Structure 1
Amino acid sequence: MRIHVLEDDGGVSDSLGLALNNLGHEVVFHRTAESFFSQSPPAASDVVLVDLSLPGIPGGQAVRWLQRLAGPPRVVVVTGQSQTVIDHQLRGLGPLMVVRKPLDFAALVAALPDV
């Protein structure tokens, strides 16, 4: 499975990449939503991990864009933000998987679809 990681923190990206590659996943990194949007949209079978605290276009806007795709991928929000910030950024969206930082890799793996 291809997993897109929208994360501006290099340490978090490195940790995610190592763990997800070890699980056999192809991982593509984007430091900003703008970088992600400049590529071809993800496939419906892909997973997109979105940090809410991205520079430029915030993670909540990236999630909205992803959900409007004809074949939206699975979206997992990864954040260290307070519940108030999470609620504000994701207001009006359907239920989403949220994995809190510091990352619990068991929770992250549980948020991925079975393949």
Structure 2
Amino acid sequence: MTIHIVEDDPGVGDSLALLLGEIGHEVEVYPDAESFFENAPPGPQDILIVDLGLPGLSGVQLIRWVARLAAPPRVIAITGQSRRAIAELFGDDLQPVLLRKPLTEEALVALL
């Protein structure tokens, strides 16, 4: 299993990678969705952690794309937005698991 992190803030991406690596996970970090697409798609055993506020191709667009894979990975969305705002972004058809900002180690590990 690989955890793919798509996060435009290098400090957040590096911190998540360090934390997850220390507890034994293989981690790949991408600064944007476009970089993520340069690699093979994740498998169903993988986890994708996506910041919804990505520049360029948004986290919402990335999550919608991943959801259409034949065997999508688990997706966790990083956001500071309210559940109502998230519901408006995704509609009723797709509601990702949310990891709220500010991020905590406990919240992250609980979602894995």
TM-score norm. by structure 2 comes to: 0.91
Q: Is the 8 A contact 1:64 1:93 kept in 2?
A: no
Deviation at 1:82, TM superposition (A): 3.9
Runs of 4 or more, structure 1, over 4 Å off, are none
SS at the partner of 2:28? strand
Tell me, in whole angstroms, the C-alpha distance in 2 between the residues paired with 1:93 and 1:37: 23
Q: Is the 8 A contact 1:3 1:26 kept in 2?
A: yes
Tell me, in whole angstroms, the C-alpha distance in 2 between the residues paired with 1:40 and 1:15: 24
Deviation at 1:84, TM superposition (A): 4.4
Deviation at 1:69, TM superposition (A): 0.3
Count of paired positions: 112
SS at the partner of 1:49? strand
**Offset from partner CA, 1:52-90 (integer Å, 9 cap, x none):** 000101101111111100110000001123444422322
Letter in 2 for 1:50: V
Deviation at 1:97, TM superposition (A): 1.1
Matched-pair identity in %? 50
**Offset from partner CA, 1:24-59 (integer Å, 9 cap, x none):** 001101111111112110011000001000010110
User: What is the root-mean-square deviation of aligned Cα atoms in Å?
Assistant: 1.4
SS at the partner of 2:66? helix
Q: Is the 8 A contact 1:52 1:89 kept in 2?
A: no
Q: Is the 8 A contact 2:87 2:95 kept in 1?
A: no
TM-score norm. by structure 1 comes to: 0.89
Tell me, in whole angstroms, the C-alpha distance in 2 between the residues paired with 1:85 and 1:29: 26
SS at the partner of 2:61? helix
* Structure 1: runs of 5+ lacking an equivalent: none
SS at the partner of 2:72? coil
